[in-house]
Each structure stands twice: as structure tokens, then as C-alpha cells.
């Protein structure tokens, strides 16, 4: 199977591989207010402009992701994952102000702390009331069944979902390319 890559997008004024939801609630609200005020035209911070709505929705989504991942045999090391996209996404790169991109091989992450959702987990949950989560082995099986392998599977899923979200459930030292 081809090497699978994932990318993490980060606004130029942010530190990569962080998650605001891991902060204590007051710190999260203070940071969201600061970032929304400093970047009113940046898509990535629109959600922070109404953090009182975003925060509980993100907490609920992360709790459901965590629960679903554990049910699939995952061993999350944190309640709130780091977010990546499988392959790449020009849409998300632009969404984050064309800032930093961390690119790393999926295989560099231990299988028991990585999961995948078809599309954006929070948007999918809000629209459908559910989301599809895959473990790495489930993902590879689906890709192997596609007539064009991983490349064809990912292309077809991106047409339907825009991108495949990757959740990394822990802080591990990862080999990476940063641009």
C-alpha cells in the first residue's frame, strides 16, 4: 500500500500541534476572544467569535469521538485529540490563513492513538447526528477494497466529504515536515 500522509494546519499566529480544548475553560475562552479579535477576517477564528456556542459543541463532539474510539479498541491518551487531515486539503490550508503545515506519515503514529472520521467530525455530527469513525486497520481495509487502492479511495471520499479528519489521541514526538 502507498504511504499515507496526514497534514496539520496552523494559522501563522498560532503554535502548531495544540488544541484550545485542552486548556482550562477560562484560559480557552480568553484565548478564543483574543484570537477572534486579532483576526476578524480569518475563517479559522470565526468559530471563536461565538465561543460560547462553539465550546460546548466541541466538548460534546470530542466526548463522542473519545467514546467511539475506545469502543473500537483505541487507547486515547487525552480527551481532546490533535486534528489532522488525511492527505492534504487546500480548503483547510486557506481556512487557516495559509499558515504552517505539518506533514507526517500516518505510520509514524501508534495505531492505538489514531482515528479517522469521514468529513469534519463536528459538522458531520451536527448535520447527521452521527459520524463514521475508522481505525487505521479499518481504513486500510476500505482502501484495499477500492479498485484504485488508497489513491482512488481517498479521491472518492474527498469528493463526498471534502476531507478525511484524522484524530491523534496523544502527544507523541513525531517526525515531520514543516512548511
pLDDT in tens, 2-52: 789 999 888 888 888 999 999 999 999 999 999 889 888 777 777 788 899
Query: CA nearest 168: which of 24, 16, 43, 13?
Result: 16
pLDDT band at 173 (very low <50, low <70, confident <90, very high): low
pLDDT for position 176? 52
- The pLDDT, as a whole number, for residue 1 is 61
Domain ranges of the chain: 5-178
Task: Say whether pLDDT at 130 is over 70.
Answer: yes
**How far apart (Å, rounded) are the C-alpha atoms in residues 102 and 136?**
20
Between 45 and 165, where is the model more confident? Answer: 165
Q: Evaluate if residue 178 carries a pLDDT over 60.
A: no
Give the model's pLDDT for residue 63: 95
CA angle 56, 77, 34 (to 5 degrees): 40
Q: Is 74 helix (H, G, I), strand (E, B) or coil?
A: coil
CB 110 within 8 A of CB 172: yes
How large is the greatest C-alpha to C-alpha distance in the chain, in angstroms? 50
Q: What is the pLDDT of residues 84-96, one digit of tens each?
A: 999 887 777 676 7
Report the interhelical angle of 51-71 vs 25-38 (nearest 10°): 120
Question: Can you give the pLDDT at residue 96?
Answer: 73
Helix intervals (H) in 39-83? 46-49, 51-71
Amino acid at each position: 500500500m502507498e504511504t499515507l500522509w496526514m497534514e496539520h494546519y496552523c494559522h501563522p499566529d498560532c503554535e502548531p500541534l495544540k488544541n484550545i480544548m485542552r486548556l482550562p475553560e477560562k484560559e480557552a475562552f480568553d484565548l478564543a476572544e483574543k484570537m477572534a479579535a486579532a483576526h476578524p477576517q480569518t475563517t479559522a477564528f470565526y468559530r471563536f467569535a461565538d465561543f460560547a456556542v462553539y465550546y460546548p459543541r466541541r466538548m460534546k463532539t470530542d466526548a463522542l469521538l473519545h467514546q467511539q474510539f475506545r469502543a473500537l479498541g483505541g487507547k486515547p491518551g487525552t480527551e481532546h485529540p490533535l486534528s489532522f487531515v488525511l492527505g492534504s486539503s487546500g480548503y483547510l490550508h486557506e481556512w487557516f490563513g495559509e499558515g504552517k503545515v505539518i506533514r507526517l506519515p500516518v505510520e509514524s503514529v501508534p495505531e492505538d492513538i489514531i482515528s479517522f472520521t469521514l468529513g469534519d467530525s463536528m459538522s458531520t455530527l451536527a448535520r447527521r447526528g452521527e459520524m463514521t469513525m475508522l481505525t487505521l486497520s479499518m481504513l486500510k481495509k476500505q482502501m484495499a477494497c477500492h479498485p484504485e487502492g488508497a489513491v482512488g479511495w481517498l479521491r472518492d471520499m474527498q469528493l463526498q466529504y471534502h476531507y478525511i479528519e484524522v484524530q491523534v489521541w496523544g502527544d507523541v514526538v513525531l517526525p515531520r515536515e514543516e512548511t
